[in-house]
Structure 1
Amino acid sequence: MGRKRVLVVGGTGYLGQHLMQGFSEIQGAPYDLAFTYHSKLPQALLEAFPHSLPFHVDLKTGQGLEAISQTFGQPDVVVNCAALSVPRACEMDPAAAMSINVPSSIVNWLSNSNVSSYLLIQLSTDQVYEGVKSFYKEEDETLPVNVYGKSKVAAEQFVSEKCSNFAILRSSIIFGPQTISPVPKSLPIQWIDGVLSKGEKMEFFDDEFRCPIYVKDLVTIALALSSKWISDGKQMQLLLNAGGPDRVSRLQMAEVVAHIRGYNASLIKPVPASSVDRGVKSPADISMNITKLVQTLNLSPISFTEGVRLTLAAEARS
């Protein structure tokens, strides 16, 4: 059994960089690693992962994918975390959201290659759910309220129809330490910490619920799926809710940060989500039941509080 090849699509993004780190830190380095990027290639990443190959790819057209076949070879595992994931941006340009978020160019490229079998780990979202109840299960109906959610439902359908081996991960809000090459988007815990540290009153929604997942847990899930696929060699067709164990509102998220940091909790002001026009509909309660994830992979994501503690500790060190 030769070395296996892993391709991280969207390797310069937040989850992508954490995945690169996770795969490259495995004892004995059993995988050859490659990653795709779209805009620019951070020098810090090349230095951090000198043995991985970067490829410039346009997911809308598929341009650049052939170069991967020629230089790196056909991957055994592809983790697709590239997406237009800002709901408002998706709302403003539905065509772009569909062309980037539905991985047709990747799947077509893999299908046309001579590779006999590969595993596609496709990142989806909790926003595929309507948001009218607590703790959604995988078999519940998907009724997204915005374009982002709709593009991800389309992606799930495309992958499950076209791929013989796949794992679809419906991720919630992903939080954790900053990446090796800092990403431009604001990170949830760091942002909350930043505003509360100023000692000014701040409003947080108290009626929108999520199950945020610590980024390193999501990486562990992807590593476990890759390892399972390679060692078992059995067909895999999985759909898993990938959230943390706790259902929290934005208000509760802020309260946890304040508690750990020792900030004045009276600065945190509860407001309904309807008090702000975000230019996009947002589901109210898309908390998820993660029993299937825990049972299938025999791992348990850490609590929200513990994840925040680790995130803030990492920020203090950096």
Structure 2
Amino acid sequence: MKRILVTGSNGLLGQKITEKVLDEGRVELIATSKGQNRYPVKEGYLYAEMDILNPEQVKAVIEKYRPDAVIHTAAMTNVDACEANKTLCRRLNVDAVATLLYICEEKNIQLIYLSTDFVFDGLNGPYKEEDPVSPVSYYGESKVMAEALIKKSKASYAILRTILVYGISNDMSRSNIVLWAKEALEKASPINVVNDQWRMPTLAEDLAEACLLAVEQGAGGIYHISGKDYMSIVDLVRKVADYWKLDHSFINEISSSSLNQTAKRPVKTGFVLDKAIKDLGYNPHSFEEGLLILEQQMDKAN
């Protein structure tokens, strides 16, 4: 059984990987994050505090636990915050990857790196793995820089790019579009939603499964991992409203340009999933199935 170390285990994806390992027992897990463990179940895996900006601590933790693979989920993902604070973004999204890469090379550890559809400009989506990257934001640029470091290294690696991850976890530090839309519409709060961007939203459980598949199969190279349904962001929010029988009239359609966001967003991303389906056996849920899973988890939590 392989031993994996996960960075950013307090985040949504990190918690979903922990949940999967506890349910299915396919690998040994060392969960790591900055600060204390926020996952409610504390048995069945090991937890170590690890700040990815502290190279000595990262090296000490990895040397202590000697994993076969590192799944690197920790990152700065707030696109506008990355644009506003490029120095911090670079430290978290590029320098921390360089630290991990050096250790993974030295110790012969597989690195599973989480990347994004924002490496593309959004003019020609949906994208295949080999399509040229051309980011329109510093967040996207930081991910391109990290990908370039990984490709140049001697470490064995898999880069998993993903899109608009949604789901629910314990003590969440950030919301996501599905929860935001549901909560606002339940309160009958008007929301502004862009009608000129297209995505393929990804259920966090599907992404967690792809990470484990990549480890188990010793996958190499780049894989596109997302949901299977392609839609505009306003359609996504309408589907959320339909699923929970909420009033559409509170959804205000707007154009991206009217938001005055710090960072530019790609217009049409989306992925061609054929490679992940064929090579990894990846089989994502439909968006409606994802909402059902979310609903069941919310019912259980209440």
TM-score using structure 1 length = 0.89
Deviations 1:228-278 (A, max 9, x none): 12xxxxxx4220111111112221111111111111223322111111112
What is the aligned partner in structure 1 of residue 84 from structure 2? 92
Shift of 1:290: 1.3
Q: Is 1:62 equivalent to 2:60 in the alignment?
A: no
What is the aligned partner in structure 2 of residue 49 from structure 1? 42
Shift of 1:62: 1.1
Shift of 1:130: 0.5
Point out the more displaced range, 258-267 or 6-15: 258-267
1:200-215 matches, cutoff 5 A: 200-215=189-204
Distance 1:196 1:69 in 2: 44
Distance 1:258 1:152 in 2: 33
Contact 2:193 2:252 in 1 (8 A): yes
Q: Is 1:192 equivalent to 2:186 in the alignment?
A: no
The structure 1 segments of at least 4 consecutive aligned residues displaced by more than 4 Å after TM superposition are: none
| Cα 1:86/1:266, change in 2 over 3 Å | same
Distance 1:70 1:119 in 2: 14
Choose which of 226, 242, 258 in structure 1 pairs with 2:225.
242
Q: Is 1:14 equivalent to 2:12 in the alignment?
A: yes
* Secondary structure at 2:161 match in 1: strand
* Secondary structure at 1:67 match in 2: helix
Contact 1:134 1:287 in 2 (8 A): yes
- Superposition RMSD in Å: 1.7
Distance 2:13 2:87 in 1: 24
1:61-140 matches, cutoff 5 A: 61-72=54-65, 74-102=66-94, 103-112=97-106, 115=107, 117-140=108-131
Letter in 1 for 2:299: A
Choose which of 197, 220, 225 in structure 1 pairs with 2:209.
220
Distance 2:230 2:27 in 1: 35
Q: Is 1:5 equivalent to 2:3 in the alignment?
A: yes
Distance 1:284 1:134 in 2: 9
Shift of 1:190: 1.3
Letter in 2 for 1:209: W
Contact 2:11 2:173 in 1 (8 A): no
Contact 2:101 2:155 in 1 (8 A): no
Letter in 1 for 2:182: D
Q: Is 1:286 equivalent to 2:241 in the alignment?
A: no
Letter in 2 for 1:41: Q
Q: Is 1:315 equivalent to 2:281 in the alignment?
A: no
Aligned length: 299
* Secondary structure at 1:244 match in 2: coil
Gaps in structure 1 of 5+ consecutive residues:
230-235
Letter in 2 for 1:49: K
* Secondary structure at 1:293 match in 2: helix
Shift of 1:61: 3.5
Task: Calculate percent identity across the aligned residue pairs.
Answer: 26
Contact 2:7 2:32 in 1 (8 A): yes
Deviations 1:66-116 (A, max 9, x none): 3324532x110110001011111111121221221120111112233xx3x
Q: Is 1:156 equivalent to 2:147 in the alignment?
A: yes
Distance 2:81 2:222 in 1: 26
Letter in 1 for 2:84: M
TM-score using structure 2 length = 0.93
Contact 1:55 1:67 in 2 (8 A): no
Deviations 1:206-243 (A, max 9, x none): 111111111111111111112112xxxxxx42201111
Distance 2:181 2:138 in 1: 26
